[in-house]
Amino acid sequence: MNPSPNSSQPTEPGDRDQQALDWFTRLRADDLGAEQRQAFEQWRQDPENARTFAEVELFWQQLELPARRLHKIERRAAPRSWGGWAVAASVLLISGLVMLQLPLLQRLNSDVATAVGERRQIQLADGSRLTLDSASAVDVDLRGPVRKLRLVQGQMFIEVTHDGRPFVVDIDDAQVQVLGTRFSVSRGRDHDEVVLLKGKVEVSSAGDKRMLAPGERVTLSGSRLDQVEKVDAERLLAWRDGQLRVREVPLRKVLEQLAEYQGSRLLYIDEQVGRRPVSGSFNLDQAGSAIDALARNQNLSVSHLAGQWIIVR
């Protein structure tokens, strides 16, 4: 293993993370001896070591389903060993890191993009003004008889200048036909949405259509268009000014949005805590401080794992 748990030298955070991962994989081996288990218990007596090991266990729980599938394959093929578990853990951890990098690769291949935590305004060639939120990407084609934008990821706000040509925004198989001037389009984990601030837009998908008036929103779940609903458009679009304004929104969703704004992901232990309703205004340019303040307000503690995962207890 990496630095011995019995070492008297101070343990650096990176070393501790690696030791915790090594112990986690070794403890699942069939050939673990009593001496090794005693060494683990001695290592875990350090409170920081115990905390880090608990975080690794929580991380593994997020990958429980693929781990079970892998275990079934292993049982058919050969007896399990510590090496097999180590490889399995490494593959799943690497897969998680690759998933984190995919959005970055998409942004690098797009016409216009923003980094994590960045907002950007762009004047398009036709005079329209585009505002991109953090970690967003758009492909732009204004050369043909129809002006087209494709939202690859994130969210955008567009103020369209009319020049006689239609203006369309694509979201996968759905289209937003611009009949007005000011609206936003966003892509989320489980649904996409369009919010209209001024003018008119028509959203179509799989032969279904919805017409929006100012102050209305429609969400898309896959190819299905939901019903149009009235919303506080100015509040939903506060991200343009670097603010996240929420009213009776589940704590989990608020923390997820703040975490994403600093390039992190969120893990939970208590689902009931994540459902607590939250109202307030949070500074997106200081998302880390906003998370800490919100956690204190909710009597929670926040810790980090490998520089990426925010664990809320």
Q: Which residues pair with 53 in a beta bridge?
A: none
Query: 196-242, pLDDT tens digit by residue?
Result: 999 999 999 988 999 999 999 999 988 889 999 999 999 999 999 99
Q: Quick one: pLDDT at residue 150?
A: 94
pLDDT digits (tens, 9 = 90+) for 71-95: 444 454 445 455 555 555 555 554 5
Q: Is residue 1 assigned to a domain? A: no
Residue 1, pLDDT > 50, answer no
pLDDT tens for 128-141 read 999 999 999 999 99
Could you tell me which residue, 77 or 280, shows the higher pLDDT? 280
Residues 185 and 246 in one domain: no
User: Domain containing 283 — which CATH number?
Assistant: 3.55.50.30
Rounded CA-CA distance 282/263 in Å is 17
> Does residue 305 surpass a pLDDT of 80?
no
Domain identity same for 123 and 97: no
Owning domain of residue 281: 242-312
Q: Across the chain, what does the average pLDDT equal? A: 81
Instruction: Report the C-alpha gap between 246 and 238 in whole angstroms.
Output: 10
pLDDT at 15: 66
Helix (H) or strand (E) holding 137: strand 137-141
More confident residue, 245 or 50: 245
Residue 293 pLDDT greater than 70, yes or no: yes
Residue 6 lies inside a defined structural domain of this protein? no
pLDDT, tens digit, for every residue of 158-180?
999 999 999 999 998 899 999 87
Last residue of a domain, one of 232, 262, 285: 232
